Amino acid sequence: MSTIYESLGTQSASFIRGTHRLLIGGHWVDAQSGKTFDVFDPGTGEVVARVAEGDAVDVDLAVRAARRAFETGDWAKMKPADRTRVMFRLADLIEQHGDELAEIEAVDNGKPLAVAKRGIAGTAEMLRYMAGWATKLNGESVNVSVPGEWHAYTTREPVGVVGQIIPWNFPLSMAIWKIAPALATGCTVVLKPAEQTPLNALRLGQIIQEAGIPDGVVNVVTGFGAMAGAALAAHPDVDKIAFTGSTETGKRIVQAALGNLKKVSLELGGKSPVFVFPDADLDLATTGAANAIFFNSGQVCSAGSRLFVHRKVFDRVIEGVVEHGDTLKVGHGLAPGSQIGPLISSQQMQRVSAYIRQGEEEGARRMNRQSAPDNGGYFVRPTVFIDTSTSMSIYREEIFGPVVCAMPFDDEDLEAIAAEANNSEFGLFAGIWTQNLGVAHKLARRIKAGSVSVNAHMVNEPALPFGGYKQSGWGRERGREVLDLYTSVKSIAINLD
């Protein structure tokens, strides 16, 4: 084993080394098949844990447990204020275990420890924000026009058993983004973490038990997408499936959900534009544009992977972004001073490297030449391309790595600029850097994307809805809007005559 693990605290080290079973109905159980699979540290390529390999049989047991908990358990019937209290307790526990969770994330996902620690605070805030909604899920009284005297009103009821399939880029916070609105609304959950990063979902399962959330309300089934994930998406007794991941897999989820027409929400890919106008604070914009694509090694659905810079300031901004990328310390998540970590897997490293080669073959100019650490980890250094064109695959496709395509723009014709931003099958996010409020508002209006940030890149704010136009997804997570995904509205009309 690499010596890097000597810096782990005793709790995270013993958790990672421990036995990892499935959480079903409040019990930690082996997969029925007895199978397990390896978990790799992407920073070293070493196997760090073995985890139960759940399949359709285990998913079925978990769905049954979630159904029992929903229909007969205390959670959905619990007073909303009590649900809030339990969720607050969970948020407090996540913060108390913050260092440990961050260390597990650094080993499992590869992100730098400091970044993982910052993520913990956001995760706890998401839980607290959603916890607050539990007491505010009201219907309304409705004025009806049919003859007679009526009392008509609506109620909001939990949608039921929810399957949640999450990706590997932010293992803990993606789990909480999914679980929090389900808990607030009184649903029960079967969570399927990504096979690359199952550890923190399992540790979270333990903390959920410690917080006093009743058995069966949250079940965790680790396993592969094509087996456990597909079984959950297709299960006839799952009322809703919530998915975050690639657009390709999202389409499979939709197909699988057809059988019982379960509700589906999808948070999928992106190819998000960032615009830098010449009047922007160029230092901030340059750092912002660099962070937009290099943060988390570009493994972010809302990464700013298409950078449009006004020709007047193009050279200056691009030089700055290249330099920013070149000076970032790329290294193992636990190594002191690491600023960006590895990609998640050897497969992902090969995929991103293939895009970089293809970009060069197609005639784009690659501005960075530094090489990545060579220690067995899955590292790819920040990469900026100029001389790109709209037909190139690096420009059109989601790379999910630290690779940005830069393009100059010449005029202030906002219709033309927005048309270029919208020239994509995705529509998740856009960033605009300008001091001109008129330009900012007008462009924000014209962009077909679920979120727009001005003079910032992505605000990690639980109150702001997040989700995609076009093939970036269905529905909105975060904010009040997510509650619509986890509740059904019932209208009740009483004839008073």
Contact between 195 and ligand ADP by CB under 6 A: the answer reads: yes
Q: How far apart are CA 308 and CA 314, in angstroms?
A: 9
Which residue numbers are catalytic? 267
Contact between 230 and ligand ADP by CB under 6 A: the answer reads: yes
Q: How far apart are CA 31 and CA 58, in angstroms?
A: 6
- Both tokens of residue 278? 């010449």
Contact between 253 and ligand ADP by CB under 6 A: the answer reads: yes
Contact between 110 and ligand ADP by CB under 6 A: the answer reads: no
Contact between 205 and ligand ADP by CB under 6 A: the answer reads: no
Closer CB to ligand ADP, 135 or 246, in the complex = 246
Q: Which of 120, 180, 194, 313 binds ligand ADP (CB under 6 A)?
A: 194
Q: How far apart are CA 33 and CA 429, in angstroms?
A: 42
Residue 146 CB partners (closer than 8 Å, separation 6+)? none
Minimum CB distance to ligand ADP, residue 342 (Å): 14
Minimum CB distance to ligand ADP, residue 251 (Å): 9
Closer CB to ligand ADP, 248 or 281, in the complex = 248
> What does the DSSP 8-state code read for residue 81?
H
Closer CB to ligand ADP, 103 or 267, in the complex = 267
CA distances from 220 to 178, 201, 250 (A): 12, 7, 20
Three-state DSSP state, 13: helix
Contact between 229 and ligand ADP by CB under 6 A: the answer reads: yes
Contact between 20 and ligand ADP by CB under 6 A: the answer reads: no
Closer CB to ligand ADP, 196 or 368, in the complex = 196
Closer CB to ligand ADP, 291 or 345, in the complex = 345
Closer CB to ligand ADP, 242 or 386, in the complex = 242
Strand partners, 143: none
Site size toward ligand ADP, by CB under 6 A: 17
Contact between 220 and ligand ADP by CB under 6 A: the answer reads: no
Closer CB to ligand ADP, 109 or 286, in the complex = 109
Strand ranges (E), 12-145: 22-24, 27-29, 36-40, 47-52, 141-142
- Both tokens of residue 232? 């959950």
Contact between 245 and ligand ADP by CB under 6 A: the answer reads: yes
CA distances from 371 to 205, 327, 380, 477 (A): 39, 12, 8, 37
Minimum CB distance to ligand ADP, residue 116 (Å): 19
Tell me which residue of 183, 158, 157, 161 sits closest to 66, measured CA to CA. Answer: 161
Three-state DSSP state, 64: helix
Stretch that binds ligand ADP, among 144-152, 192-200, 290-298, 379-387 (CB under 6 A): 192-200
Angle at 47 between CA 44 and CA 53, to 5 degrees: 140
Contact between 235 and ligand ADP by CB under 6 A: the answer reads: no
Contact between 252 and ligand ADP by CB under 6 A: the answer reads: yes
What's the half-sphere exposure (Cβ side, CA atoms, 13 Å) at 320? 19
Strand partners, 52: 36
Three-state DSSP state, 284: helix
Residues 42-101 that bind ligand ADP (CB under 6 A): none
Stretch that binds ligand ADP, among 57-65, 191-199, 318-326, 381-389 (CB under 6 A): 191-199
Contact between 233 and ligand ADP by CB under 6 A: the answer reads: yes
Stretch that binds ligand ADP, among 189-197, 202-210, 370-378, 459-467 (CB under 6 A): 189-197
Q: Please state the length of the chain.
A: 497
Q: Beta strand 273-276 with 263-267: parallel, antiparallel or unpaired?
A: unpaired
Of all residues in this chain, which one has the CB nearest to ligand ADP in the complex?
225
Residue reference for tokens 């993520």: 119
Cβ–Cβ under 8 Å, residues 245 and 165: yes
Contact between 246 and ligand ADP by CB under 6 A: the answer reads: yes
Angle between helices 80-96 and 98-108 (to 10 degrees): 70
Closer CB to ligand ADP, 22 or 452, in the complex = 22
Minimum CB distance to ligand ADP, residue 254 (Å): 10
Contact between 269 and ligand ADP by CB under 6 A: the answer reads: no
Instruction: Report the interface residues with ligand ADP, using CB under 6 A.
Output: 165-167, 192, 194-195, 224-226, 229-230, 233, 245-246, 249, 252-253
